[in-house]
Amino acid sequence: MSELVPGTGVDAAVVPLTHAPLPADEVLIGRPTSATHPLATLGEVEVGIWEMTPGTASDVEADEVFVVLSGHARIEFIEPALPAIEVEPGSVVRLAEGQRTVWTVTETLRKIYIA
């Protein structure tokens, strides 16, 4: 599936995604995989679907807002140090460019991102 054409739509909860293992230097626990599928580019903003299977991994974030469609995870904010949050369907989260995080996914997490 390619990017959406104006006037079309998809069910983001069931769009098939092709997963790949996360880079070994990011994986802390387990063997999580992830997949990304861009849906649209609006100016310099990308909208897409991202998914991660269970496991724990570190990340350096992009500037984005996301909405969780399915799954469950705990996000720890390492730099800057902030309280950890639990995300589940319906959660809306704002991340900032350069934040260092640790994601512990306990149920495959699928989100729509705007970055």
Whether residue 11 has pLDDT greater than 80: yes
In whole numbers, what is the pLDDT of the chain averaged over residues?
96
CA–CA separation, 109 and 69 (whole Å): 8
**47-94 pLDDT per residue, tens:** 999 999 999 999 999 999 999 999 999 999 999 999 999 999 999 999
How would you class 78 by CB atoms within 10 Å of its CB: exposed for 0-12, middle for 13-18, buried for 19 or more?
A: middle
**50, HSE (Cβ side, Cα atoms, 13 Å):** 15
Whether residue 28 has pLDDT greater than 80: yes
Whether residue 1 has pLDDT greater than 90: no
Cis geometry, peptide bond prior to residue 80 (ω within 30 degrees of 0): yes
Letter for the amino acid at 41? Answer: T
pLDDT at position 77: 98
pLDDT at position 3: 86
